[in-house]
Amino acid sequence: MSSVIFHLPPPMQKRAFHLMLAHAKQVHEEGEPVILTHCNLQAGTCSSNLTGSRLICAACRHSTRKTAEDVGLELVPLDMPEENATSNHLSRNENAELIEGVNSCLITLLRVLKYDLNRLPLLRAIKRRNFRTASALLKSMNVLLSKRKVHRIEVLNGRYACMKIGLIAARKFGLPFNTLDFSCVGKPMVFRGHTPHNRSAIQERIRRNPTDVEVAQEYYSARKDRRLNPFARKHQYFELPSAPPDTQKKIAFFLSSQDECESLGPEWRSPFRNTAEVVEQACKAYPEYYFCVRFHPNQSKILSDITSDYHHLQNLSNLRIYYPTDEINTYSLVDWSDVVVTFASTVAIEACWSGKAVVQLGPSFFDQLDISYTPGSLDEFITLLGTNTKPWPNDAAVQFANYDMNDFDELRYLDYSAGEEKPVGFHRKGSALATPAKKANNLANKILQKIIGSQLARSRDAA
């Protein structure tokens, strides 16, 4: 009988580990045979073990095996493939997808942009080790699929290489797949046939949500509430920019964290990647307008240089730049502006709800929801700024609020009624090893970030 493969994340990722096992148990209970797969390498490099520690790998294997025994599902280890086996060959497309997964992992965990990943020997070494690990797992998964009858594969998220192997293998063998993750409020979501970062599929799901205005009012009010939003609380004393009295239009640019977009893969590559050029051209084309640029506070943790392209723009008389560490209240700036321009930022949907004219530049989770203007080039954008831009209907903003707050997939073996996810009928075994392994990896990542940040800074100073 054909089975469903659930490729497990490391047990150090406790919530994700519980999520995958809970869904596996439910699928098995509903009548589909389940195979659990896991990394069985001795010194692999992955999102939970960037240094390739053998001790962390040992803790991972032990906890996974013991937990699988507890849930009573078949566990198949993915090992190093045999030397000279035909399964050792991966196609160019498979290798390219693995590389994207490796980049996604390192960009996210180390906060380094893609163009810096090959600049330092340390980063290149981590990339090579992560690629070798994922490559071995993919080859082993391909062998398993060639020997067993499987009709679907399920993985966590599908971005990082060691999880992405399930999606790559599914495509190779013509199998459907599901991905799992948590919603913004911590509830489980099953994405059937796509990943959580598939823009079109996510926006289709958003559109299936109700237009409950009361939910939307509660949602957007909470985001502005200083008691609930730490960013709003921290920036409550923000003073609005002083535009000249003869200013014809006030325009606010909101940047997003570049590493978040870069980590999502080629489908998220934007024609407006050079945001400083976009701002400069707009300021020069419309000297009668006043512009503000608001960096996202999360950008302060990015190790790559993200601000130097803006330094020469500070001399423009019709521009005010707020850098990541500046005290800025996003919602006050939205209210101040006549037009809100975003680069993949959630501010787009919030500004639409607030009745502002919105322009989205580049891909986002809202670019197909009819909440904004979406010019496809810099020339189109510059022309658009000279027109009478108006607010778009906020129906999709209402649906997004309902999606973000209430859209999830019920899992019988996860209890999240108290605001905290807890497994039902099972629990992670081997926590005495898995918990310190996670702490060791977190500490190692912090040390790596300090070393990498220092090395990148020195290389920039030397340039």
Q: pLDDT tens digit string along 49-96?
A: 999 999 999 999 999 999 999 999 999 999 987 665 555 789 999 999
Task: List the beta strands (DSSP E) in 91-232.
Answer: 150-156, 177-182, 188-192
Average pLDDT over residues 283-292: 98
Confidence of residue 180 (pLDDT cuts 50, 70, 90): very high
Distance (Å, whole) CA 16 – CA 107: 20
Dihedrals phi, psi of 218, to nearest 5 degrees: -65, -40
Dihedral sign for Cα atoms in the order 411, 412, 418, 423: negative
Identify the helix (H) or strand (E) that includes residue 280. helix 275-285
pLDDT in tens, 101-131: 999 999 999 999 999 999 999 999 999 999 9
Span 133-162, mean pLDDT?
97
- DSSP secondary structure code for residue 392 in this structure: P
pLDDT at residue 327 above 90?
Answer: no
H/E stretch holding 333 reads helix 330-336
Give pLDDT, residue 418: 65
According to DSSP, the β-strands at 339-342 and 249-254 are parallel
Q: At residue 306, what are phi and psi to the nearest 5 degrees? A: -120, 0
Which phi and psi angles does 423 have, rounded to 5°?
A: -70, 150
Looking at residue 86, what is its pLDDT?
Answer: 57
Contact call for residues 198 and 175 (beta carbons, < 8 A): no
Q: At 226, give phi and psi (nearest 5°).
A: -65, -20
Contact 38, 1 (CB under 8 A): no
Instruction: Say which CATH architecture domain 213-403 belongs to.
Output: 3-Layer(aba) Sandwich (3.40)
* Burial class, 241, CB count within 10 angstroms (exposed 0-12 / middle 13-18 / buried 19+): middle
Whether the domain at 3-187+408-462 and the domain at 213-403 fall into the same CATH topology = yes
Confidence of residue 298 (pLDDT cuts 50, 70, 90): confident
pLDDT of residue 80: 81
Angle at 84 between CA 80 and CA 86, to 5 degrees: 90
Residues 6+ apart with CB under 8 A from 95: 135
Tell me the average pLDDT across 149-175: 98
Residue boundaries of the structural domains of the chain? 3-187+408-462, 213-403
* Predicted TM-score (pTM) of this structure: 0.93
The pLDDT confidence band at residue 454, using thresholds 50, 70 and 90, is: very high
For residue 187, what pLDDT is reported? 92
Q: What is the mean pLDDT of residues 364-392?
A: 98
**Amino acid 421: pLDDT:** 82
Which pLDDT belongs to residue 24? 98
Q: Is the pLDDT of residue 190 over 80?
A: yes
Residue 447: pLDDT above 60?
yes
Q: What is the pLDDT of residue 237?
A: 62
pLDDT per position as a tens digit, 205-221: 999 999 999 999 999 99
What integer is the mean pLDDT of 340-346? Answer: 96
The predicted pLDDT at position 459 comes to 87
Q: Which CATH architecture best describes the domain 3-187+408-462?
A: 3-Layer(aba) Sandwich (3.40)
416 CA to centre of own chain = 22
Those residues with Cβ within 8 angstroms of residue 323's Cβ, 6 or more apart along the chain or in another chain: 295, 307
Residue 242, burial from CB neighbour count under 10 angstroms (0-12, 13-18, 19+):
exposed
Confidence (pLDDT) at 261:
86
Tell me which of 418 and 286 has the higher pLDDT. 286
